[in-house]
Amino acid sequence: MGSNVSIRALAFRLFKNSSHYGVGVFLVRAGSLFLLPLYWRKLDPADFGVIGIVNGILVFLTPVLGFGLADAVQRFYLAWPESKRKSNLGILWLFATVSSAVICLLLECFHGQIFPALFTNVPYEPHLRTGVWSGFALSLSTFPLALWRIREQLRVYVGLTVTSFFMQSGLILFNLFYLNLGLQGYLSAILISNSLSGVVYVGYMFKEVRWEADFKALKETLIYSIPMVPANVGEGVFGVLDRYFLDKFVGLREMGIYSVAGQFGTAFNLFNQILKLSWVPFLFRLTSEREDAPKVLGRLSTVYLAVLALPAICLTAVAREILLLVGNSKFFPSAPLISFFVLAYFISGAATALGRGVELSSRTYFSPLITVVGLTTCVCSLWALVPRYGIWGAVHAFVLTMSARALVQIFIAVKLYPRPVYWSQILVIFIGSMGACILAFQIETGFLYLNIVAKLAICVLVWVFLAIHSIGGSGNASWLMNSALLKMKKVAPTE
């Protein structure tokens, strides 16, 4: 990524990489939805409650095991001298693997004191134990996946991810339908699948590392990664607190309506997660190889947000029609809530695009501050709004939480890693997107499919105008189209 490569070429490279990740994510998500009705035949709602708790353990353990060193590898790999990369990877990977095993062994030894205080309805043996060791097996994938992302070995990343998913799904179906093992068959299939994949990942890492005790590299990366751990753990807490408050003040029907709307928001957030998979390693490569990285970052951040606006507008506009296609009238009360969930996740997407400063400056000790602001806003807004307004209070609290986190994250990012921010163009994107949704809501032809086509057409037309205005208004369009493609420093990894 040489300094003479045009911004147009960089933008093309970024979104090309995102499309590769998108294929993998789509296959996994679509496969999960396709398999869900099959799982329903062999598992009851109580089983899915246990699965939810086990998934919660995995969400908690993922950032804790290894102390986030795999994320630090993405930050420092390109900055290390090439002669030191294998030895630095060796000491970091060994420390992360051993420390992960120690943490899981401690949980095993003291499970009688820890888990009964957290989960009264689910025993540690065998369900939660399976979850803990599935978490350890899953942690073995973090270093290889981080390396493939930073090296842009996208086919390997997507191929192994999709293969692991299909292997796990096959084992689950085998345990459920052939062996009739029920819930424990489902959970043990996850453990076996993660373990088999872990063996492959360990074998790969043995070829990528050199064993030298360079504790300086370990100290540097731990200083970077440890402050990120509570912040990453805090990310998973936001999705629990709203349910906690709603459980106290609304009925199951209202919670179901809220959950359905939230699933639409999560569907939109998938687009942000796909972009983020290539965005973060792209930024680390950008800042390590270009002197004009802040200027490029400012321009591409606006492009990122403009691209994300299209699925946000379209999904919000046709949410009611989608409910008609896949559900029935009893879920219609979810439709007005969907726009607020999409707005909240869109604001989160703005933080992804504009708020990468803590990592780029390596001053990760600011990360807990962002989490504290988010958690404080979340608890206070839920406490104030849910008792009075129910699910509407919860969804507004979610928007307030995402807004507070995004503002603090962007403010800190711009201070720690200064770059131009095109606020007028960003404002046009937000206001124009809302206007497009309001305009689409007015369309009612009396025919379901015609409604969908008309609304999507309006959304696309408005988005094209927004993209041209917001990107071109800051000079981005001319820069993207007219920057000369000179000699590119080829950093082409072997796939």
Determine, yes or no, domain membership for 34. Answer: no
- Vertex 184 angle, CA 182 and 188, to 5°: 125
In this prediction, residue 252 carries a pLDDT of 64
Determine, yes or no, domain membership for 495. Answer: no
Same domain, yes or no: 173 and 294: no
Q: Give the tens place of pLDDT for each residue, 191-237.
A: 999 999 999 999 999 999 888 877 888 888 888 888 877 777 766 66
Which one, of 271, 310, 301, lies nearest residue 409 by Cα? 301
Same domain, yes or no: 332 and 450: yes
Same domain, yes or no: 472 and 335: yes
Same domain, yes or no: 150 and 165: yes
Q: Which of 201, 226, 251 finishes a domain?
A: 226
Residues 6+ apart with CB under 8 A from 197: 137, 140, 141, 160, 164, 167
In this prediction, residue 334 carries a pLDDT of 80
Answer whether 487's CB lies under 8 Å from 9's CB.
no
Could you please report the per-residue DSSP string of 170-232?
HHHHIIIIIS--HHHHHHHHHHHHHHHHHHHHHHHHHHH------HHHHHHHHHHHTTHHHHH
Residue 457's SS3 state is: helix
Same domain, yes or no: 106 and 152: yes
Same domain, yes or no: 309 and 387: yes
Q: Which of 226, 245, 261 finishes a domain?
A: 226
Same domain, yes or no: 406 and 474: yes
Q: Which one is predicted more confidently, 240 or 198?
A: 198
Answer whether 91's CB lies under 8 Å from 217's CB.
yes
Structure tokens at 103: 């943490």
Structure confidence at residue 296 as a pLDDT band (50, 70, 90): confident
In this prediction, residue 487 carries a pLDDT of 35
Same domain, yes or no: 155 and 204: yes
In this prediction, residue 13 carries a pLDDT of 66
Please state the rounded mean pLDDT for residues 372-386: 91
**Of the ranges 36-45, 157-166, 272-281, the best mean pLDDT one:** 157-166
Same domain, yes or no: 206 and 303: no
Please state the rounded mean pLDDT for residues 475-481: 44
Percent of the chain whose pLDDT exceeds 90: 28
Determine, yes or no, domain membership for 243. Answer: yes
Determine, yes or no, domain membership for 451. Answer: yes
In this prediction, residue 481 carries a pLDDT of 39
Cβ atoms within 10 Å of 203's Cβ, excluding its own: 10
Structure confidence at residue 10 as a pLDDT band (50, 70, 90): low
Determine, yes or no, domain membership for 490. Answer: no
Same domain, yes or no: 353 and 266: yes
Determine, yes or no, domain membership for 52. Answer: yes
Structure tokens at 16: 């090309």
- Expressed as residue numbers, the domain containing 76 is 43-226
Same domain, yes or no: 213 and 261: no
Determine, yes or no, domain membership for 32. Answer: no
Judged against a pLDDT cut of 80, whether residue 95 lies above it is answered with yes
Percent of the chain whose pLDDT exceeds 70: 85
Please give the model's pTM, rounded to 2 decimal places. Answer: 0.72
Q: Which of 200, 226, 252 finishes a domain?
A: 226
Same domain, yes or no: 284 and 202: no
| CA–CA separation, 113 and 179 (whole Å) | 34
Instruction: State how many domains the chain has.
Output: 2
Quote the strand ranges of 355-461, DSSP E.
none
Judged against a pLDDT cut of 60, whether residue 472 lies above it is answered with no
Determine, yes or no, domain membership for 55. Answer: yes
